[in-house]
Chains A and B, each alone.
Chain A
Amino acid sequence: EAGVVQSPRYKIIEKKQPVAFWCNPISGHNTLYWYLQNLGQGPELLIRYENEEAVDDSQLPKDRFSAERLKGVDSTLKIQPAELGDSAVYLCASSSSTGGTEAFFGQGTRLTVV
């Protein structure tokens, strides 16, 4: 079974430019997460989807970040415009049900804003 797939693996952009990340969760997983991870720190939740509904986006900087999960499967996370402080690893994860189950992570997208 394929795991969580993210693309691209690396992205370098100039500040003020837009960028988008894509995530394909494990088949059948209803819950999808986007996390941000700074160097030496734990992942921080940006947004959580249950199917196509964003049920927790309280940590998402909505002035520049947006996300969507059309049809409740794949998801994209966009930043527009990017700032230097957005440089980090963006992790996508998915899990199978509500009530507390393990989340499976993708490899992440390492974003560098210059």
Chain B
Amino acid sequence: GESVGLHLPTLSVQEGDNSIINCAYSNSASDYFIWYKQESGKGPQFIIDIRSNMDKRQGQRVTVLLNKTVKHLSLQIAATQPGDSAVYFCAENEGGGNKLTFGTGTQLKVEL
């Protein structure tokens, strides 16, 4: 069936650098995308979302880019901090409902 996947399972960055986490999706019917952060022993925490009628959305230190042509989603974290260390998941919502499908996740490690 349709799936959401990530290119890199682990990403290591230096504190203060920018991080980019990528996600590929295959369901062309998806119209809403969310990035979640999950720390050890906790449930996923909402970071930022974007709808398919947009190609960029910015939050505090985070930016999500959506390229519908190649079905690609990315999360950019500016000035990465130790507290950003976690697993990051992209999730897609198929059009017309609340069916949320997750990718496999990327482990972000911030080195001091």
Contacts and interface: CB of A to CB of B under 8 A. Distances in A.
Given A91-B43, A100-B51, A105-B45, A43 B97 contact: no
Contacts of A45: 99-101
Name, among B51, B95, B98, the residue most crowded by chain A CB atoms within 10 Å (CB to CB).
B98
Interface residues of B, number: 27
A97 B97 CA distance: 9
Chain B interface SS verdict (over half) = strand
B34 A56 contact: no
Q: B51, B96, B102, B104: which has the most chain A beta carbons within 10 Å?
A: B102
B102 A42 contact: yes
A42 B105 contact: yes
Interface of A: 4, 31, 33, 35, 40-45, 48, 50, 55-56, 91, 93, 95, 97-108
A102 B44 contact: no
Contact of A99 (B89, B96, B100): B96
Contacts of B61: none
Contacts of B98: 31, 33, 48, 50, 95, 97-101, 103
Contact of B46 (A43, A44, A102, A108): A102
A43 B32 CA distance: 17
